[in-house]
Amino acid sequence: MDVNEIRAKSGFLCDMDGVIYQGNRLIDGVADFVKWLNENEKSYLFLTNASSKSPRELHMKLARLGLEVGEEHFYTSALATAKFLASQDSGCSAYVIGEPGLVGALYDEGIAMNDVDPDYVVVGESRNYNYVCILRAVRLVQKGARLIGTNPDLTGPDESGIIPACRAFVAPIEMTTGKHAYFIGKPNALMMRTGLDLLGEHSKNSVMIGDRMDTDIIAGIETGLSTVLVMTGVSTRETIEEYPYRPSLVLDRVADIVG
């Protein structure tokens, strides 16, 4: 597949960390890419495994970086996690290790916070992750709470390099309890199908753009989308060879779609 075939797609699902920005730095050419999406009336959604920020906060972050994108163009693993829990057990409660974006999404779905006898232990990225919260999570899972991770990313890109992500935070709880977490974010088809539904697009007319072979690209492949891997985040041209599948197209950066 070449870049002209990608340009012809009508629906664009796009990862954020490592594709749109790195930490608090907008990646070169992203503004041109978003302008192209708008001018060509493409349907697009920023589909991120990060759970710490709400769509409004992501909108504000991009605005600070000089990019104006409406809140309706964001969907996070926090929103997907909250929707999943509400569909499984309406009125449930959870002990949460995570940032306000995750807590707020759970509240909005009617899920109560509970650190005594919750139905679920939910883990997302957190700057306040520590031994005390790990110990409490372990005790609650041992008592029967079901373990949920917002996403399966082991690492993520930052301005300073690669940093731990959700799966690294979940690992001590899994290893201590012997229980395996259920991860909601990409490549889980739940999040991908919701993204397509929000766009109102069919998979054959859509493309997934990401920086990770193990989440973004496999998620796109398994959902029937064309896939574009960019070299501004985690995966590299060398690490592509570690996987038995391939993206439809490899580009240096997302702006290369524009030309």
- Catalytic residue flag (residue 119): no
**Could you give the residue ranges of the DSSP H alpha helices within the chain?**
3-7, 30-39, 55-64, 77-88, 100-108, 131-142, 166-177, 189-199, 218-223
- Measured in whole angstroms, the distance separating CA 213 from the mean position of its chain's CA atoms is 13
H helices present in 200-248, as ranges: 218-223
Lookup: tokens for 169: 């935070």
Exactly one of 2, 15, 32, 216 is catalytic; name it: 15
Sign of CA dihedral 126, 26, 68, 211: negative
Q: Quick count: other Cβ atoms within 10 Å of Cβ 32?
A: 14
- The residue from 17, 119, 214, 216 that is catalytic is 17
Going edge to edge, which strands form the sheet with 93-97? 112-113, 93-97, 120-123, 146-149, 182-183
Our answer to whether residue 153 is catalytic in this structure is no
Contacts of 169 (CB under 8 A, 6+ apart): 97, 123, 124, 125, 126, 129, 149
If you search the block for the tokens 């964001």, which residue do you land on?
74
Query: Per the omega criterion (within 30 degrees of 0), is the bond before 244 cis?
Result: no
What residues are annotated to the active site? 15, 17
